[in-house]
Amino acid sequence: MYPTAATLSVLLALVTLAAGAPKILLKGAESAALQSRMGLSTDLIRFIGLAEVAAAGGLLVGLSWQPLGIAAAIGFAFTMIGAVGFHAQAGDYATPDTRKKAMAPIVLALLSAGTAVALSLAM
């Protein structure tokens, strides 16, 4: 079970790092959309980015100390559940154009939960 847990952890860490770094730097279309469409402050966007980068670090360190990896995966799942709520509030699930991007937090929350389970079983 450990190879599966390690693969999921590394994959999720890469995705969270790729999602979090632009938010910390306030670069890219995603940060601009969070500011304009959702009305989030720059401080909140940076905080979300820091949480995502911290999750990536926790997932990688969790390869050798699995309780940290489990906590990071669960924490990131809760972050993605919050993102689903923001997307729902903005009405992104109502139109096909915005629904595609809004599905990513759902998929990532499920991937995070699967990673937490895999790490738990690998202990």
Q: Structural domain boundaries of the chain?
A: 2-122
Nearest alpha carbon to residue 72 among 116, 106, 102, 34: 116
- Contact between 32 and 5 under an 8 Å Cβ cutoff? The reply is no
Q: Look at residue 86 in the predicted model and tell me its pLDDT.
A: 86
98 neighbors 51 (Cβ within 8 angstroms): no
pLDDT reported for residue 1 = 65
pLDDT at residue 99, rounded to an integer: 84
CB 48 within 8 A of CB 87: no
User: And the tokens for 39?
Assistant: 């009305």
What radius of gyration do the chain's Cα atoms show?
15
Q: What is the pLDDT along the chain (123 residues), one digit of tens a residue?
A: 688 889 999 999 999 999 899 989 888 777 777 777 777 788 888 999 999 999 999 999 999 999 999 999 999 999 999 989 988 888 888 888 888 888 999 999 999 999 999 999 987
